[in-house]
Structure 1
Amino acid sequence: MSEFLFKTGEATVLAAEGQYTDAMPEVLIGHVNGPVGQAFANMMGQTAGHTRMFAIRACNQMVRPATMMVPKVTIKSSAYINLFGGVVQSATADAVLDCVIEGIIPRDQANHLCIISLIWLDPECVKDPNLDEKDLYRTNYEATKLAIQRAMRDQPSLEELIANRHSIKHDMFDPDA
């Protein structure tokens, strides 16, 4: 694998109907001895409302590459942190490990890279009495894996972005509307 400073990727996977379980991770992947590694180390301090944590599959089972999960939304309840540090953490860790297993992340680089993953967890899912935790897992697993894959493959390509510049609109804003 050629050396790189860092790679970025994002993905959106939509929830099952009636759920607040959309997943939209944004990942930054780089070498531990580069700028991503420095940012990763700097994130070890906590900020009120933005608890950061490692992606672990279970206690004493932190994944490689080391992955720091950072919420995009201010955490205001223990119910939110329980979902973030439970279902979402499990999905994120499984996606990272599967990326190594499937060769998306080269196995020989797993101890030399680190990942910072900004994670969207809709505050409404905490209030939903019918929350489907399996769908929350599914969306976060699929989106994290896709974001890592896109990062490692430099997707979308500049050519693709140029080609669809006038045919694709932002999902939440259309300047022509």
Structure 2
Amino acid sequence: MSEIPIFKTGEATVFASEDQGTDAMPEIVLGAANGPVGTAFATLMGQTEGHTRLFAIRACNQQVKPATLMVPKVTMKNTAYISLFFGVVQSAVADAVLDSVIDGVIPKEWANEMCIIVNVWLDPECGVQENPDKKDLYRTNYEATKLALKRALNDEPGIDELIANRKKIHHEMYDPVTGESLW
């Protein structure tokens, strides 16, 4: 068995179809359950108002392995938002983790010895839309979680890529040269 990483991080963004507000932007930390990620995982188990943490489960009595804790980036303020987070998004994250094991991105031997923390973005607008596109919400969160896991385990992007792109790529929400946002 290969050695479980102590601490790896990854992130990904997958945009919504037709500007639905269903963009997914997970940030992931993963590592050995008996290391710093495991300590953070256990510490995060407590509740805070509006930021309920939850296990990624595929269905009742089907907690995904490796153990995965979802942490919302946005305060949960209404029942519709909570239902989307605890339903569609939870399902997408759980399926992405399990499929990452099935696909060999996460070695099966690590399933009980590592843990994952996923900071999850769910646009607050989804909680106030009359009919949010749940299929697209599932798609974006599934794809982004799988990509973030792959990137974490492959140390992507590498430092050489980051250095090469330092002056070529800027954050979509702020261009330091123009002071403008692309959004």
The normalised TM-score by structure 1 is 0.98
How many residue pairs get aligned? The number is: 177
Partner of 1:21: 22
Equivalent residues of 2:4, 2:110 under 8 A apart:
no
**Residue type of the partner of 2:87?**
G
Q: Please give the alpha-carbon distance, in whole angstroms, between the structure 1 residues aligned to 2:137 and 2:4.
A: 34
In the alignment, does 2:93 pair up with 1:83? no
Partner of 1:159: 160
Deviates more, 1:111-120 or 1:124-133: 124-133
Partner of 2:137: 136
Partner of 2:58: 57
The normalised TM-score by structure 2 is 0.95
When the two chains are superposed, the root-mean-square deviation of aligned CA atoms in Å is: 0.8
**Residue type of the partner of 1:48?**
E
Aligned residue for 1:59, secondary structure, equals coil
Q: Which runs of 5+ in 2 are unaligned?
A: 179-183
In the alignment, does 2:106 pair up with 1:105? yes
Q: Which runs of 5+ in 1 are unaligned?
A: none
Deviation at 1:3?
Answer: 4.4
Q: Please give the alpha-carbon distance, in whole angstroms, between the structure 2 residues aligned to 1:57 and 1:118.
A: 18
Equivalent residues of 2:4, 2:114 under 8 A apart:
no
Partner of 2:146: 145
Deviation at 1:126?
Answer: 1.3
Q: Please give the alpha-carbon distance, in whole angstroms, between the structure 1 residues aligned to 2:5 and 2:65.
A: 18
**Residue type of the partner of 1:65?**
P
Aligned residue for 1:128, secondary structure, equals coil
Deviates more, 1:95-104 or 1:3-12: 3-12
Q: Where does structure 1 differ by over 2 angstroms across 4 or more consecutive aligned residues?
A: 1-4
Partner of 1:42: 43
Percent of residue pairs identical: 66
